[in-house]
Amino acid sequence: MKKLLSIVLATAMLICSLSVAASAKVYDYEISLGQTLEVAVSPVTERTVKFAPEHDSVFILEAESEDLDTYCWLFAAETDEELQISDDENGSDFRLEYEFEAGKTYYFCVGVYGDEDAPVSKYKITLLCGHSFDGDTCSVCGEVCEHDTVGFLGFCLCGANYIGNELAVGAQVKYDKSKTEMWFRFVPEETGLYLLESASADELSDPDAELYNSEGEWLYGDYDSVGMDFALYYILEAGETYYYNVYPFYYELDTDIKFSRVTHTTDDGTVHTDLVLEEETWSNCTEHGYTEGVYCNTCEEFISGHEELELDEAWHIDEDWDYICDLCGTDYRCRCICHSDNWFLNFIWSIANYFCAIFGINQKCDCGDYHYYTEFYY
């Protein structure tokens, strides 16, 4: 009896030790506020960075690399829950900003995009304070706001002063190359369709623009509407406060920023202001799509854009999932033996597919389905 009990207890202890080992996540680095680390990664080798905040606050993990395309995933250590993803917020580098809770443990999973056979690369990551100001002093890191650094929406870091740029209809501003971003504030006197656009002087400029309301909520963004330039249309309400953020996606910007109220002047000189922007629609096998365009509700016609796109003969509509297009009747069922309903062909296929998996060949069907999976796809 004692021998049996000892075996049961030993088995229980083994199970417990295995479960503890399985739940203890292995990490490569540990980072603290203000610290900069150099991580060694490759497209097939990610690194895990542990962070245990001492304060409830916003913290920022920022990457700095030379011509790499970095990314970061944030996980909660206790639950392994995915909390946030970041990859192109800082040019081609990530800048992950999240509100952390003190007493919890988090893991940053950092990596780099590229070919599987690319060598190991190194880049720097820095953990910054997102600041929680009490007056003009951050209660987390103790930094004192000098009211001269532009933060979110164009306000200084503590939010006491607006130090961004004021915007007016008809304005044309040269982007300041020395800045990583520029903020613009605008309060329309009349409700209507407004346009913020860029006009770059060279092909290397890739400006992006985003629009926020007075609460700091993201409303809309535009990126490559006209080549690499943006053209951000939006209906703004009179008396409301709006903030535009303009920044480079790659490199520095050599571009002008223009702002206007969109109107339609008819042949007799009448000015119409009841305009809307219709978004781009895609073509399918029988119906043409159109580029985005500005529509005049008064004239009931498009005044710009809305150019017809060519048919996309490969874009079929199949709402009953019978692999026959509901619009043009095209039968696009895959003829591969792997889809056969014949029991004998299924038997032959199962044997053939077994050897394909062993030798690592013919993994993907012409229709896109996988014939078999490897650990790489899990």
pLDDT at position 25: 65
pLDDT at position 376: 42
pLDDT at position 11: 41
- Residue (of 230, 259, 228, 225) closest to 242 by Cα position: 259
d(CA 284, CA 203): 32
Per-residue pLDDT of the chain (378 residues; tens, 9 = 90+): 433 334 433 443 443 343 333 345 689 999 999 999 999 999 999 999 999 999 999 999 999 999 899 999 999 999 989 999 999 877 789 999 999 999 999 999 999 999 988 899 999 999 999 998 999 999 999 999 999 999 999 999 999 999 999 999 999 999 999 898 999 999 999 999 999 999 999 888 999 999 999 999 999 999 998 999 999 999 999 999 999 999 998 878 999 999 999 999 999 999 999 999 999 999 999 999 999 999 999 999 999 999 999 999 888 888 887 888 999 988 877 778 887 778 888 888 889 888 888 888 988 887 778 888 865 433
What DSSP string runs through 125-156? EEEEE---EETTEETTT-PBP-S-SB-GGGBB
Q: Quick check: 46 and 109 in contact, CB under 8 A?
A: yes
Question: CB burial class (10 A; 0-12, 13-18, 19+) of residue 339?
Answer: middle
Which two structure tokens, joined as six digits, stand for 181? 């971003």
Q: Which amino acid is at 128?
A: L
d(CA 19, CA 94): 34
Q: What is the pTM of this model?
A: 0.68
Per DSSP, 261 falls in state E
Which two structure tokens, joined as six digits, stand for 81? 């829950």
* Pairing mode, strands 165-166 and 182-186: parallel
Tell me the backbone φ, ψ of residue 248, rounded to 5 degrees: -85, 140
d(CA 229, CA 192): 23
Q: Is 305 helix (H, G, I), strand (E, B) or coil?
A: strand
Please give the span between the terminal C-alpha atoms of the chain, in angstroms, as a whole number: 45
